[in-house]
Structure 1
Amino acid sequence: MGIRNKLFLTFLGTFLLLILAASAFYYLSFEQSLSKYLDERQQAQVERLADHLAVLYAQRGSWDFLLRDPRQLGRLYWLAGDRNQPDPRKIDRDAHRHLQLLTADKHPLLGPPVAPKFRRKVAIRIGDQIVGWLVYPDQEAIRDSMDRRFQERQLRFMLWMTLIGLALSLLVSWLLARHFVAPITALSRHTRQLREGNYGARLTSQRRDELGDLIRHVDSLAQRLNQGQQARQRWFSDIAHELRTPLAVLRGELEAIQDDVRPMSKETISTLESEVRHLTHLVSDLHDLALADAGNLRYHFTRMDLDALCEDAVDAVRPAMQRQGLTLLTTLPPATLSGDPVRLRQLLDNLLHNSLKYTDQGGEVQLVLDDEQDHWRLTINDTAPGVPEEALPKLFDHLFRVESSRNRRTGGAGLGLAICQRIVEAHGGTITAGHSPLGGLRITIRLPKDHHAPRTDR
């Protein structure tokens, strides 16, 4: 059974139960209220009749006027309150049938006897003296055909109300089931499209409930899958492009040597070795990045001096920067943290070589280490050229290079900063890129002083 049918039957059963309970409660409440109302009205009317009879008895001194004309009792009963009766003659008959007049010592004078089980009495008083009694049965004892017809009308009314409620329940249950199942059906079709690889499909919904949130979450998931698919396609395309270039150079050089176009010399071998070294570095970076993305890049965390590690990295790159006319300034106060020295040295080497490659000759590079309570902040600023604003969020993407400053001439495949981001994240830190006050690029790294990473040597 589908969810639509289940919801339909659930709603229908709930509505029917409520309708039957409400109908039964209404019928019982109405019947009890009506019986109580009739009893109270009859008692009040008989008490008024007793007052009228007391006045007449005081005027005439006996009950002979009723014995001579018993119909007066019905007319007096009508005067006591039942004035909406259209036929006074019928009232006379009803009065004689239901009322009984007794003397002060309770001897019957007029009217039929009433069974003791249902009998009620009202005294006829003149001052403190009782001159007679009016005896009448309660409503339970005088149920007649009119009462039964009234009950039948009420039952028919309840039946029609139940049938109308059933029809409305069918309609409302069907509409509610359709309302709740429609987005689920749409989600089912949408996920089927996602399973088939159609990540561009989208759902639109104005709902403000949990189903609307679910639709928006699925749309967000589809958007992420679409972005991931496009990223994979760019990734494969960029990898093929990066590998194709050094391989094409190697193939061209080898063919030239084979055709005796170029002699086998030290310069030729140096060119081939340079391309092989570039290719090896690219493959190594791709391997490290793949391990980092899969969470398999090995780390060995230990207590270490971050300032000493920065000094070693600076000393290693300083000669190359001097050859390019770059000034390297450092501010490195003592700093200790829990980290992997090998991976953090890889991080520093990538960042410093990035500044070396993309900073114009005669520029400046600054490496500053600051204390931020629970974190160490490492900032690298360099001079022009800078990075466009729209390119800053993409600097840590795989194989991304700013075309105005990062190209094949300066080297690099755009993997260094992506690897840096994975290393920083593994240490529980953050890395961001922005505009440097020197006119170039600013890289800001925040590393926690105490980080207990779950990953260790494997």
Structure 2
Amino acid sequence: MGIRNKLFLIFLGTFLVLILAASGFYYLSFVRSLDTYLDERQQSQVERLANHLGNLYQQQGSWQFLRDDPRRLKRLYWLAGDREEGKDERGDHRRLQLLDAHKRVLFGPPAPEKYRIDVPIQDNSRIVGYLTYPDQEAIRDKLDRRFIGRQLRFALWMLCVGLALSLLVSWLLARHLVAPILALSRHTRELQEGNYDSRLASDRRDELGTLTRQVDQLAERLDQGQQARQRWFSDIAHELRTPVAILQGELEALCDGIRPLNQESLKGLESEVAQLTHLINDLHDLALADGGNLRYQFRLEDLSSLIEDVLDSYQSSFAQRGITCKTNLPDQALIQQDPVRLRQLLDNLFQNSLKYTADGGELSVSLSKQEDNTWQLTVDDSAPGVSDDALPKLFDHLYRVESSRNRRTGGSGLGLAICQRIVQAHGGVLHAEHSPLGGVRIHISLPGHAL
């Protein structure tokens, strides 16, 4: 059974229970209210008749005047509401009875005491007789029963109308609630078939609207992921094709005798193999980082000392290029870190500066503690810089700036992407901006050690 039919049956059952309960309550409340009203009306009429008979008794001194003129009693009964002609279903000629002070029947048929109500007739303060009338069920006449029957038929008609409205409203509600679910089902089927560019436009502000927008966001992410994978595979193929093509060309030249097989030729081949190995290793590290499988061993160590050690290993390389290195490091900066991965991060940053900074340039490295107990590492290098459009793309896979910072220096285009994964694994944030020295500034924020 589909969800639409289930919702329809649930709504219909709920409405029917409510309608039946309301109809039953209305009918019972009406019958009880009608009985109470008739009882109060009858009692009021009988009490007025009892007062009138008391005044007549006081004037006549006995009940003989009624025996002499029975029509007078009939008119009095008529005023009290006993207007039914003939005998009722019990064989009684009248509903009302007139009793003397000793409760002997003067007029009217006898009635069981448990079914009658006695109203005293008083002459001043002396009781001279009683008027009795049966309970409401016994004195209910045909007009009362017809009125109750009409109300019962009205309640049944209302029940039928309520049933029809329940069917209509239940169907509309089930259709309204299931419509976005069916749309989501069709949309997810399209996503399952690989059609990631389809979207659902929804203005709903309920949970279904939120779910629709979340599915649209999921479709957008899937679309972006598919495009990223396509670019990723294309870029990997391109990056691997270049050194392989160079190796193939060099080997063919050696085999054809175009180039002599000597130490210089072997060095060229070795350089291309090293470049290819470096690219493959970077791809492996990045794949592990993206999959969350790059292992980390955190321990409390000094970040400032680690930066100094890595910079010392690059001093000779910077000196050969005439690059001046300035540092502003504190005596100690304790953080929870994996020294191996942070050294890999610093190597990538300093290698980028070494490769892409013009000869005679400048490198500045500073580390400072912020008010929120984070350590901010800033690496600035001098010209050449990058354009505004290129800054947010520096951490993309295999991205290179089409300027003097290009492939001729041997970069794989994966170093900064790996740096970003390492910083994220340490709970930090990494971003790039223009450097006041003319090149690129790399900002790294890492959480400090809580004392």
Aligned to 1:97, the other structure's residue is in SS state coil
- Give the whole-Å Cα distance in 1 for the aligned partners of 2:36 and 2:214: 61
Letter in 1 for 2:22: A
Q: Where do 1:113-132 residues align within 5 Å?
A: 113-132=110-129
Aligned to 1:409, the other structure's residue is in SS state helix
- Give the whole-Å Cα distance in 2 for the aligned partners of 1:254 and 1:229: 37
Aligned to 1:17, the other structure's residue is in SS state helix
1:188 Cα deviation (Å)? 1.9
Aligned to 1:241: 238
Aligned to 2:349: 351
Question: Does 1:335 find its partner at 2:333?
Answer: yes
Question: Does 1:208 find its partner at 2:205?
Answer: yes
The answer on whether the counterparts of 2:356 and 2:409 sit within 8 Å (CA) in structure 1 is: yes
Distance 1:72 1:384, change over 3 A: farther
Corresponding residue to 1:316 among 313, 317, 320: 313
Aligned to 1:226: 223
- Give the whole-Å Cα distance in 1 for the aligned partners of 2:94 and 2:390: 105
Aligned to 1:364: 362
* 1:205-224 Cα deviation digits (max 9, x unpaired): 22222222222222211111
Question: Does 1:19 find its partner at 2:19?
Answer: yes
Letter in 1 for 2:352: N
Aligned to 1:55: 55
1:109 Cα deviation (Å)? 2.5
- Give the whole-Å Cα distance in 1 for the aligned partners of 2:276 and 2:26: 88
The answer on whether the counterparts of 2:357 and 2:382 sit within 8 Å (CA) in structure 1 is: yes
- Comparing 118-127 with 59-68, greater Cα deviation is found at 59-68
Corresponding residue to 2:100 among 100, 103, 124: 103
1:237 Cα deviation (Å)? 0.7
- Comparing 222-231 with 208-217, greater Cα deviation is found at 208-217
1:137 Cα deviation (Å)? 1.2
Question: Does 1:160 find its partner at 2:157?
Answer: yes
Q: Where do 1:175-324 residues align within 5 Å?
A: 175-264=172-261, 267-324=264-321
- Comparing 406-415 with 306-315, greater Cα deviation is found at 406-415
1:429 Cα deviation (Å)? 2.4
Letter in 2 for 1:380: V
- Comparing 26-35 with 264-273, greater Cα deviation is found at 264-273
- Give the whole-Å Cα distance in 2 for the aligned partners of 1:363 and 1:76: 128
- Give the whole-Å Cα distance in 1 for the aligned partners of 2:236 and 2:401: 17
- Comparing 261-270 with 302-311, greater Cα deviation is found at 261-270
Question: Does 1:413 find its partner at 2:412?
Answer: yes
Letter in 1 for 2:363: V
- Comparing 132-141 with 259-268, greater Cα deviation is found at 259-268
Distance 1:22 1:89, change over 3 A: closer
Percent sequence identity is 67
- Give the whole-Å Cα distance in 2 for the aligned partners of 1:438 and 1:69: 132
Aligned to 1:165, the other structure's residue is in SS state helix
1:185 Cα deviation (Å)? 1.8
1:236 Cα deviation (Å)? 0.6
Q: What TM-score, normalized by structure 2, do the two folds share?
A: 0.89
The answer on whether the counterparts of 1:433 and 1:443 sit within 8 Å (CA) in structure 2 is: yes
* 1:303-340 Cα deviation digits (max 9, x unpaired): 43322221121122223223333221111222233322
Aligned to 1:369, the other structure's residue is in SS state strand
1:229 Cα deviation (Å)? 0.7
- Give the whole-Å Cα distance in 1 for the aligned partners of 2:277 and 2:420: 21
Aligned to 1:403: 402
Aligned to 2:50, the other structure's residue is in SS state helix
- Give the whole-Å Cα distance in 1 for the aligned partners of 2:99 and 2:106: 5
- Give the whole-Å Cα distance in 2 for the aligned partners of 1:430 and 1:29: 72
The answer on whether the counterparts of 1:73 and 1:96 sit within 8 Å (CA) in structure 2 is: no
Q: Which structure 2 residue ranges, 5 or more long, are not aligned?
A: none
Aligned to 2:423: 424
Aligned to 2:198, the other structure's residue is in SS state coil
Aligned to 1:370, the other structure's residue is in SS state strand
Letter in 1 for 2:420: Q
Letter in 2 for 1:441: V
Letter in 2 for 1:404: S
- Give the whole-Å Cα distance in 2 for the aligned partners of 1:37 and 1:435: 92
Q: Where do 1:30-45 residues align within 5 Å?
A: 30-45=30-45
- Give the whole-Å Cα distance in 2 for the aligned partners of 1:37 and 1:379: 92
- Give the whole-Å Cα distance in 1 for the aligned partners of 2:198 and 2:428: 36
Aligned to 2:127, the other structure's residue is in SS state strand
The answer on whether the counterparts of 1:394 and 1:400 sit within 8 Å (CA) in structure 2 is: yes
The answer on whether the counterparts of 1:74 and 1:93 sit within 8 Å (CA) in structure 2 is: no
Aligned to 2:114, the other structure's residue is in SS state coil
- Comparing 246-255 with 326-335, greater Cα deviation is found at 246-255
- Give the whole-Å Cα distance in 2 for the aligned partners of 1:387 and 1:119: 109
The answer on whether the counterparts of 2:77 and 2:96 sit within 8 Å (CA) in structure 1 is: no
- Give the whole-Å Cα distance in 1 for the aligned partners of 2:318 and 2:67: 139
1:265 Cα deviation (Å)? 5.3
1:78 Cα deviation (Å)? 5.3
- Give the whole-Å Cα distance in 2 for the aligned partners of 1:71 and 1:361: 138
Aligned to 2:196, the other structure's residue is in SS state coil
Aligned to 1:454: none
1:415 Cα deviation (Å)? 0.3
Aligned to 1:386: 385
1:272 Cα deviation (Å)? 3.4
Aligned to 1:434: 433
Aligned to 1:443: 442
Aligned to 2:94, the other structure's residue is in SS state helix
- Give the whole-Å Cα distance in 2 for the aligned partners of 1:79 and 1:205: 73
The answer on whether the counterparts of 1:74 and 1:96 sit within 8 Å (CA) in structure 2 is: no
Letter in 2 for 1:42: Q
Aligned to 1:455: none
Distance 1:197 1:294, change over 3 A: same
Aligned to 1:208, the other structure's residue is in SS state coil
1:281 Cα deviation (Å)? 1.3
Q: Which structure 1 residue ranges, 5 or more long, are not aligned?
A: 83-87, 452-458
1:266 Cα deviation (Å)? 5.1
